[in-house]
Amino acid sequence: MSVNTLAKPEVQRSNGLDKTHNKIDLSAFMKKVIARNPGQTEFHQAVREVAEKIIPYINEKPKYIKANILERLIEPDRVLSFRVSWQDDQGNVQVNRGYRVQFNGAIGPYKGGLRFDPTVTEGTLKFLGFEQIFKNSLTTLPMGGGKGGSDFNPKGKSDAEVMRFCQSFMTELYRHIGKDTDVPAGDIGVGAREVSYMFGQYRRLANEFTGVLTGKGLGFGGSFIRKEATGFGSVYFAKEMLAHTGQDLNGKKAVVSGSGNVAQHTVEKLLQLGAVVLTMSDRSGYLYDPEGIDEEKLAHVMELKNELRAPLNNYLKRYPNAEFVENARPWGVKCDAAFPSATQNELDGEDARQLVKNGCKLVCEGANMPTTPEGVEVFGQAKILFGPGKAANAGGVAISGLEMTQNSMRLQWDPEEVDQKLQSIMRSIHKTCLMYGQEDGWVDYVKGANIGGFVKVADAMLAYGVI
Ligand code: NDP
């Protein structure tokens, strides 16, 4: 038998795995992700951000490579898609599409919000569900990753229409969820009103009162601080990042985007910690108040958005010294800290360069993936403090996890106790980020959050064997 010693070793890259060296190759891996999930660009973006940080880590850990953990992790456990028919106020029959992505249940019941927005696609929810795996793992609580929603647009609908839609949506979803299976919550377009309609319908169909949804009203199973938790948690995370470099938020000028749940409570906590908040925004543009948005003005924003469901530019009717810039984002306003808290990809490379040029030293993502990859790169090169959403906005799901605990125990903790727990969870997430993301003189929080979130899930998957 002759051996051809000149033959090049065969390198098989079909799954991104270089079998000669037992290493994963990022570009081959991403090629496969894109081919298997055509058109799902936000999902590709979310996977790439994780893969860039995880691959160098697992290439040194043969146990993960051998078990093909990364490729298994990017494939959802299941994706449910269903028809949602409902009648509008004129008696017309409308049809929307509902989804639930049960992405990874290795460390607990699927947990993640529902988004009602006309832009929702399966790809959007896969991106959000994928992010949720790492975020939930970082909280230290036993929760798997999931996300769901619909292309239904609650804007401009009457309460009766929203109720009929929510009831129809839940009539299908209820057979796939449960307190120990999958526990949805709110997200864009799904607030207290929508959660209540859905919970009411679940309770009617299942004939049981269990913590199957979080974000419920305080009188029927909700937790104190749940509605504030994402915004408060984001500011607590910013506080930890600053404290690590010997600074605090007092007197810092802050620019916030969004004016929904996350943005409102981000502003509330920033004000409590002495920051000056200059902006908020909605889909129509951004509000710039050079005198600062104080508690009274924030209460007015809450009234406009939560009760009147009116555009943000109505603020000027009461506070004419402010400006409203139509169809624009607030990132050109000079600030020390930025809190993108509206939606994905709302802060691009150019915005990031502008922020850095204006002296911004901290960016803390209240929203999910609000910064584009180019923006993240700009912040990384400038070595400013950058808290990625999966760490910075994990406070919401953390308190959802604690709502589940309270429901199981059939009790309700007081607000101070929940807030203490929230602060302690955000501190622990920050510590995990330091553990995996510290580099000479700088913390790569993206790396820290991705690896920190990955390890627990990956080890559970290893323990289960091949499933
Ligand atoms: P809300 O629906 O309460 O508020 C969303 C805000 O963002 C609104 O002000 C909305 O404007 C604005 N917005 C939405 N889409 C766009 C867009 N395409 N362009 C510009 N502005 C837009 O949602 P939440 O505050 O709950 O969620 C905000 C972000 O935080 C999302 O990325 C969500 O996934 C993330 N998040 C939320 C959590 C939660 O607990 N709610 C937990 C973790 C993350 P308008 O008022 O005009 O509709």
Q: pLDDT tens across 102-136, in order?
A: 999 999 999 999 999 999 999 999 999 999 999 99
DSSP strand E in 107-256: where? 110-116, 144-150, 182-185, 253-256
Contacts 24+ apart (CB under 8 A), 14-21: 15/68, 15/71, 16/71, 17/65, 17/68
Check if 392 has its Cβ closer than 6 Å to any atom of ligand 1: no
pLDDT at 19: 55
Query: Distance (Å, rounded) from C-alpha 331 to C-alpha 352?
Result: 8
pLDDT at 343: 98
Check if 368 has its Cβ closer than 6 Å to any atom of ligand 1: yes
Fold of 78-218: Rossmann fold (3.40.50)
Residues 144 and 109: beta-carbon distance below 8 Å: yes
Lowest-confidence segment of 1-10, 258-267, 324-333, 383-392 by average pLDDT: 1-10
Query: Distance (Å, rounded) from C-alpha 52 to C-alpha 25?
Result: 10
Query: Distance (Å, rounded) from C-alpha 467 to C-alpha 464?
Result: 7
Q: Which of 324, 393, 355 is nearest to 255 (CA)?
A: 355
Residue 261 CA to ligand 1 center (angstroms) comes to 7
The tokens describing 437, both together, are 């993301």
132, 136, 281, 283: residue to mutate for ligand 1 pocket, most atoms within 8 A of CB: 283
pLDDT at 22: 80
- Beta strand pairing call for 276-282 and 253-256: parallel
Which overall architecture, per CATH, does domain 229-392 show?
3-Layer(aba) Sandwich (3.40)
Check if 231 has its Cβ closer than 6 Å to any atom of ligand 1: no
pLDDT beyond 80 at 10 = no
Q: Provide the annotated active-site residues.
A: 147
124, 138, 188, 301: residue to mutate for ligand 1 pocket, most atoms within 8 A of CB: 188
What DSSP string runs through 141-182? S--EEEEEEES---TT--HHHHHHHHHHHHHHHGGG-BTTTE
- Beta strand pairing call for 442-443 and 438-439: antiparallel
- CATH 3.40.50.720 region(s) of the chain? 229-392
pLDDT at 454: 98
pLDDT beyond 90 at 213 = yes
- Beta strand pairing call for 23-24 and 253-256: unpaired
Lowest-confidence segment of 208-212, 437-441, 456-460 by average pLDDT: 437-441
pLDDT beyond 80 at 2 = no
Q: Which atom of ligand 1 is nearest to the CA of 186?
A: 41
- Look over the chain and give the mean of its residue pLDDT values, rounded to a whole number: 95
Which run of H or E residues covers position 101? strand 93-104
Residue whose token pair is 């081919």: 35
> What percent of the chain has a predicted confidence (pLDDT) above 70?
96
Amino acid at 241: M
- CATH 3.40.50.10860 region(s) of the chain? 78-218
* Sign of torsion over alpha carbons 333, 387, 117, 398: negative
Lowest-confidence segment of 11-20, 164-173, 295-304 by average pLDDT: 11-20
Q: Which atom of ligand 1 is nearest to the CA of 343?
A: 32
Residue 395 CA to ligand 1 center (angstroms) comes to 15
